[in-house]
Structures are given as C-alpha cells and as structure tokens.
Structure 1
Amino acid sequence: MFNDIQANGAQVLASSLQGNSTLLSLRLSGNKIGRGGGLELASMLQENCALQELEVVDCDLDTSSIIALIIMLKKNKALCSVDISRPLLFSHQEEWAVHCSKMLAVNSSLMELHLGRMGMTDTGIEQLTEGLGRNHSLRYLDLCSNRVTRDGAFHLAMMLTQNRALEILDLSSNQIGDGGAGYLSKAITCPRSTLKESKGV
C-alpha cells in the first residue's frame, strides 16, 4: 500500500497471481495503477481462485476498470472482501452501479463491499438496491462519503425489507437527513431485518 507501483507493476503482479494458489490478500491502495492496472487485475481474477481480499482504494481507477472488476465478481467465487473506494470517475451516468447491481444479484461469495467516495447519488443507490434485494451473502456494505440523500435512504430502507443477509451498513458522511434516518430506522426495527449496525444514521 502507498508505494509507487503503477500500471506496469500491476501488470507484473497480475501475471504472477494468475496461477497463484496461496496468496489470500492483495492490498494495493494508494498506488496509482490507473486504468491499465485495473484492467490487468480484472483479467487476473478470471484465473485466480485463491484471492479472498482485494483492496484498491485511491488507485486512480477509471469507470472502465471499475466495471471490469465488478463484472469479474459475477464469475469469481473466491473473493470475500473488495474495496474499490475513491476511484477517478468523471461520468455522472453511474454505469458502474448498474453492473454492480447485476453482480450482487448473482454473487454468492462476497461478504464485504466498500464503495466509499464513489460520487454515488440517489439514482445510483436505486440501481444498486435492485441487486441487493436478491443478494444472500453480503454482510457489510460501505457507502460512506457519497452523495446519498433522503431519497436514497428510502430505497435502501425498502431493500432492507427484502434482504436477509446484510448486517452492517455504513452511510457516514452522506446527506440523508432526519427523513432518511426515519426511513432506515423503521426498516431496521422490522422483525425480518438482519441489520445489526448502521453507521451514520
């Protein structure tokens, strides 16, 4: 973490990990591997069946590399924890959220997902909750430091009435306000809710 590894270094790492069966955790946060490095890691995840934790926070990943990593999670059955927070996303379309929703609907191994500082809006949350409502494995969802407001909190609250797995939801440093907190409080107190901790509410 926080070295001077760039795209070429990420390519070497990805190549060496394709056939690796012993390394369980890879933390590259703070290394500016960029789009090229992100795509190399996504390609590696097609072959690697051992890695359980991947952390690429503040690595200058762009939309295409984020989407590539998310798509690989539809097929990869080993990763339990992924942190792709603080990428470089300039598009306001939130295409990655659509892919993330589709991934969550079918993924059965991911238990922890960090999506902090993604610039996510209520629209992105609405898209994300469609997949979350069908997910049965995710226990910890980190959505801190995004642009979620009361409307986004409403979509999350509706999702919590369907989801039977999520235990921790981090919404710290968002703008859900009293109204959003009210929606989530009702969902949390629902007898069917499995949520044990909600940060930022």
Structure 2
Amino acid sequence: MSTDPDNNTCPNTSAIQVFVDSAPELVGDSSENESDKKKKKSRNVSFPDEDQLVTQYFEPANPWQNAASTSKAQLAAEYLESCRRHGTPAIDSVLQQIRELPETAIGGATRAPRLTLSECVLQGSAPADALEAVLRRVQFRRLEIHQAVIDDEGAEAIFDMIEYYESAIVVSINGERQFGIRGWQAASRMIKKSAELSELEVSDSALEAAHAPVLARALRPLTCRLRALCLQRCSLCGEPLLCLAVFAVLARALRPLTCRLRALCLQRCSLCGEPLLCLVIALKSNSSVRELRLGDNRLGPSDAAQIAALLRLNARIQLLDLSNNQIQDTGLGHIADALVEQGAQTPPSAAASPASPVSPHRCPMTGYEARGLAFLVLWNNQLTRNCAAHLSKALRSSQSLCVLNIGRNAVGTEGVRALCAGGALISVGLQAARLGPDAAPAVAELIGQNNTLQVRERER
C-alpha cells in the first residue's frame, strides 16, 4: 500500500480500468453471436411421397392356407402321437369325437358341429398342447369345456389356440373352474383378437369381482366381434356389494358406442335390486344390444319398473325374456305403460307403411335398424286375470310387438279376450296357461280375428 498521503488512488484501479475497458468488447461479441444465429438457415424435416412411405407389408399368417386334408384314422394317430410326445394320456371322448367327424371338416373346408371336452383333466399345458394336433386340422362351430379340471396354464393354452386357429364360433365354459386371473386374461385376448368368435357362454360357476374387469375390457374395443354374452347360474347371490361390483364393471363396458354385443343373457344370476339398476343405467345409452334375457332372477314388480324405464329410453331392444320371475300384474302394468310410450314415439309414417320395419305387417326383428319391442316372454310370472287391462293397453298401443308368451300364468278367459285388442301379434304362447273351461270361445275369437296368428295352446 502507498505511503504518500496525497495519493488516494486505490492500488487495484488499473485492474478495474482494464475490466471496464474490456466490457464493451464482451457486449459486442454477444450481439455478434446473436446476429450469426439469425443468419443461420432453419432446419427442415422432409418425408418421402405417400406412395413411398410403405415399401412392403405382410399379411398375418393364415394357418389354414395350406392345411393338408387327412383321414380320421390319421388324425387320431396324430393326436395319440402328440399325447405321447407331451407325456399326457389321451382323452377318450376326444378320440370318439374324431371318429364321428364329417370327412369334409378335416382340413378346414367346413366346420364340424362341436368339440366337447367333458369331465377331463386339462391341468398344465401338456393336455392342451396335445389337443393342437386336432385343432390345427379341424374347426368347430361350438367348443364346450364341460365340468373339466382346468387351471391357468391349461386355460391359456386352450384359449390361445382357439384364437390362433379360429377354432370355434361359440365357446361354452360350464362347471366349476380352477383357473383364475391368468386364464381370464387369455380369454380376454381370445375375445378381442378372434375374427370368428361370436358367442361366449359361462355357466354354473361364480364370476368373481376381480375377473369382471378383465372380461369387461375385452368387450370395449371396436375390433371385438363378440355378439352374445351369456352368464347363467353364475352364483352371484352372495354379498350384495360383490354382485354390485361385478355388474357395475360389466355395465361400464356396455356404455361405449363401440360395443357390438347383440344378445345379453343373464339368467339365474340373482340380478334383482341394485345389480339390475346398474345394468339398466348402462343399457339406457347402449344402441347395440337387441336381445336381453333375464330369466330366473327373482325379479319383482319394482324390478319391472326399472326395466320399463329402460324400454322408455332404449327402443333398440327387440327381445325381452323375463320368464320364471315374479313381476306379477303390477310389474306387467309398468311394462305396458312403457310400451304405450314406445308406440306414441313411433313416427306415423313408419307405422302406416307396410314396408317399414315397425309396420304391423312385418315382424320388426328382421331388420337391424328396427325400433320397438318385438318379442316379450312372460312365462311363469304369477300373472292373474287382473292383468287383462294391461295386456289390452299394450297391444292396442304397440306397433312393434309381434310375439307374446304368457304361458304358465293363470290369466283366465279375461286374459285371452285381452289378446283380441289388436296390434301386430303374429304368435301367442299359452302353454300350460290355466285358462278355465270357458276359455275356448275366447280362443276361437282370437284366431278368427287374425287368420295368420299362431296360437300355442296349453299343454295337456
């Protein structure tokens, strides 16, 4: 530090001066860099012409393209050799069905009626892998797994082969199942990817809440070609919340416009109460389901009111099966009121035109775009003669109802006379109906009014 008292200059002044002098140069450099960046040309990404984007593609492998035809004896020998190679015993019922196959079915020219895997053991992948010797040679209209012992590995192998070989149009699973979530995931892939599978039947076994989402996801994609889903005797009468969870998940799958299901069969599923409400809410916005079968579900008058609300908002449902329930006369009254509203919503021009799908001269079930309920099955629903007023009201108002079954109900002579109210009826079911001794004139009058009407009389 300087000792001169007159010198008040800081010793680092020169260094500061140098920094200040060099600062403009730094600023100038940054501005030059920005200008250089602006002068650079922008980069563009170009693609080839549309006709050059895809140079080559391959169709999926078709296992039936070069399938060789063979005899039934040779097919049985191939199956036995496959069983020996996989170390599993042959299924006697499969060998018997091979002997009964039509000659034209071997090689994929036509489909055989069915293949039934009944009361056999399909645990592990070996028994199913051995069946590939049959499935790669023959296609079936129905493939039934009936009371078979099948686990996840066996289910995966069977369902994957059905998907790959398009082995069946209808797959039926009957009896208790040992497979769990992995088996259902394989079934879901089969449903989504198969081009030929149109119907899935599951009966006599519980559908657990954990498995319902897997099944529901398979129904949503636009590529799903499944047309009918049948759940019968699925033991859903346990905890109400479990029932509600299962049907709430399935109901969500029925909402999207991409759902292609045409028939929904839910028989003996304990569907009364809240589970039915979930299903009704989903079907109100569904435009694909045409057949709704709800037999043997212990439905009462209040459940019939929910179904009536569905019919008011969804005129696409053409077949309604409520057989073996207890909707009684009150429930029929709710449904009749819904049919009256459906008739009021029918355009007058459509009702008057003989060529229209909703015309009385033509059964509405013949056309996909037909509107209004056409088939109503009320077999064994504790109906009495007091239902006559409801029947008459529905038949006078509905332009679409052409088939009515009120068998095994004590409708009496009054009920038969109510059928004379007119409408579009072409068939009436009166099997096992307790009509009484004086019902014969009423039946004769009913037939006399419509010469084309088919009356199925009571059983003797």
Contact 2:219 2:259 in 1 (8 A): no
Distance, in Å, in 2 between the alignment partners of 1:150 and 1:200 is 12
Q: Which residue of 2 aligns with 1:199?
A: 405
- Structure 2 gap ranges (5+): 1-171, 237-242, 343-370, 408-460
In the alignment, which of 379, 392, 398 is matched to residue 185 of structure 1? 392
1:141-177 deviation per Cα after TM superposition (whole angstroms, max 9, x unaligned): 1111122111111100001112251001111121122
Distance, in Å, in 1 between the alignment partners of 2:328 and 2:403 is 19
Which SS does the other structure have where 1:34 is aligned? coil
Contact 1:54 1:81 in 2 (8 A): yes
2:177 matches 1:5: yes
User: What one-letter code is carried by the residue in structure 2 that aligns with 1:46?
Assistant: R
2:250 matches 1:77: no
1:33–1:100 CA distance, 2 compared to 1 (3 A): closer
User: What one-letter code is carried by the residue in structure 2 that aligns with 1:153?
Assistant: L
Contact 2:253 2:259 in 1 (8 A): no
Aligned CA-pair RMSD: 2.3
Kindly tell me the number of residue pairs found equivalent between the two proteins. Answer: 197
Q: Percent of counterpart pairs with the same letter?
A: 26
1:21–1:150 CA distance, 2 compared to 1 (3 A): same
In the alignment, which of 103, 118, 137 is matched to residue 316 of structure 2? 137
In the alignment, which of 29, 32, 53 is matched to residue 206 of structure 2? 32
Q: Which residue of 1 aligns with 2:331?
A: 152
2:272 matches 1:66: no
Task: Indicate the structure with greater helix content.
Answer: 2
Contact 1:104 1:134 in 2 (8 A): no
Distance, in Å, in 2 between the alignment partners of 1:36 and 1:181 is 45
Which SS does the other structure have where 2:261 is aligned? coil
Which SS does the other structure have where 2:404 is aligned? strand
> Which is worse superposed, 112-121 or 34-43?
34-43
- Structure 1 gap ranges (5+): none
In the alignment, which of 39, 44, 52 is matched to residue 227 of structure 2? 52
The structure number with the bigger radius of gyration is: 2
Provide the TM-score with structure 2 as the length reference. Answer: 0.40
1:99-110 correspondence runs (5 A): 99-110=278-289
Q: Relative contact order, CA 8 A, sep 6+: which one is greater? A: 1
Which SS does the other structure have where 1:17 is aligned? helix
Q: Which residue of 2 aligns with 1:171?
A: 378
Distance, in Å, in 2 between the alignment partners of 1:53 and 1:19 is 16
Contact 1:103 1:131 in 2 (8 A): no
Q: Which residue of 1 aligns with 2:140?
A: none
Which SS does the other structure have where 2:187 is aligned? helix
User: What one-letter code is carried by the residue in structure 1 that aligns with 2:253?
Assistant: M
